[in-house]
């Protein structure tokens, strides 16, 4: 596929505007990968409050299937809130979870968050969420921001809704994902959310997306069960994961 002159100009302007931040983030991830392979202790990408990072690092009790039919489980990848704390576009993981949970609650359902260690694939994370969910519907979330709404009786690579272009997602979109997941769980007719698409996004974020996915995949532990994360309400920051 050939770029037109107009597309090329748009790409260059976009790249220049985000060059310094993107290069800094990519460089940081590359350094961490090099340190890990050379045997040096890996550093956490430190942009989350301590309470939110420690929740993801601690070993919690294995997550069990919920008996509550109002339960909508949100499953996150192995690097979520620990080795990585922001999506491709810079949205904090904790904020995304708060929005999805709020969307679920707006529909009268109960959100629950689990961390999946046996896979870094969005489809299989979503499938795990649905199988653990009391309602049979769950949300899967990769650390880079890709999201999926899944149902327990579907094949892993099929789903109810898929949101593949993480750089275009906003907190409002994630809240909508929570609402729709809850509506599916209640058996309502659901209008799927508009899937955002920008042909320039893939090129602009391809390298960073690959590095983030590699970092998450490096933390996959096929023998480790999913674990439930808990939160507490605070006046200053709202929900904080502990």
Query: In terms of Cα–Cα distance, which of 70, 90, 69, 94 is closest to 80?
Result: 94
* Mean predicted confidence (pLDDT) in 21-34: 63
Among residues of the chain, what percentage have pLDDT more than 70? 71
- For 125-163, b/e burial (b = at least 16 CB within 10 A) is bbbbbbbbbbbbbbbbbbbbbbbbbbbbeeebeebbbbb
Q: What is the pTM of this model?
A: 0.76
pLDDT of residue 15: 44
With 60 as the cut, is the pLDDT of residue 44 above it? no
40 pLDDT band, cuts 50/70/90, is low
- Sign of the torsion angle spanned by Cα atoms 227, 218, 159, 208: positive
Q: What is the residue-wise DSSP string for 48-78?
A: S-HHHHHHHHS--PBP-----TTEEEEEE-T
Tell me yes or no: is domain 50-197 CATH 3.40.50.12240: no
With 50 as the cut, is the pLDDT of residue 48 above it? no
pLDDT digits (tens, 9 = 90+) for 186-200: 999 999 999 878 878
pLDDT digits (tens, 9 = 90+) for 159-173: 999 999 899 999 999
* Mean predicted confidence (pLDDT) in 135-159: 97
pLDDT of residue 195: 83
pLDDT digits (tens, 9 = 90+) for 100-116: 999 999 999 999 999 99
pLDDT of residue 236: 53
* Range from 52-66, 209-223, 227-241 that averages highest in pLDDT: 209-223
pLDDT digits (tens, 9 = 90+) for 171-185: 999 999 999 999 999
Query: Domain residue spans in the chain?
Result: 50-197
* Mean predicted confidence (pLDDT) in 223-237: 78
Considering only residues 238 and 113, tell me which one the structure prediction assigns the higher pLDDT.
113
- Nearest-Å Rg of the Cα atoms of the chain is 18
pLDDT of residue 133: 98
* Mean predicted confidence (pLDDT) in 124-130: 98
Instruction: Compute the distance between CA of residue 16 and CA of residue 28 in angstroms, rounded to an integer.
Output: 19
pLDDT digits (tens, 9 = 90+) for 58-96: 457 799 999 999 999 999 999 999 999 999 999 999 999
């Amino acid at each position: 596929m050939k770029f037109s002159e107009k597309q090329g100009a748009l790409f260059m302007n976009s790249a220049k505007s985000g060059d310094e931040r993107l290069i800094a983030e990519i460089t940081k991830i590359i350094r961490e990968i090099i340190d890990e392979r050379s045997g040096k202790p890996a550093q956490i990408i430190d942009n989350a409050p301590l309470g939110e990072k420690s929740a993801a690092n601690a070993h919690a009790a294995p997550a069990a299937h919920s008996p509550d039919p109002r339960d909508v489980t949100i499953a996150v990848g192995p690097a979520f809130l620990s080795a990585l704390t922001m999506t491709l576009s810079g949205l904090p993981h904790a904020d995304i979870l708060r929005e999805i949970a709020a969307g679920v609650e707006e529909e009268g359902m109960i959100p629950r968050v689990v961390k999946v260690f046996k896979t870094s694939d969005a489809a299989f994370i979503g499938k795990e969420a649905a199988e653990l969910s009391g309602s049979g519907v769950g949300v899967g979330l990769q650390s880079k921001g890709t999201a999926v709404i899944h149902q327990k009786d579907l094949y892993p690579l099929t789903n109810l809704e898929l949101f593949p272009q993480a750089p275009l997602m906003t907190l409002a979109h994630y809240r909508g994902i929570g609402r729709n997941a809850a509506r599916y769980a209640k058996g309502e007719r659901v209008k799927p959310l508009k899937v955002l698409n920008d042909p320039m996004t893939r090129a602009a974020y391809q390298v960073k997306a690959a590095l983030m996915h590699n970092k998450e995949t490096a933390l996959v532990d096929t023998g480790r069960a999913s674990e439930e994360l808990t939160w507490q309400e605070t006046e200053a920051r709202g929900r904080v994961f502990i």
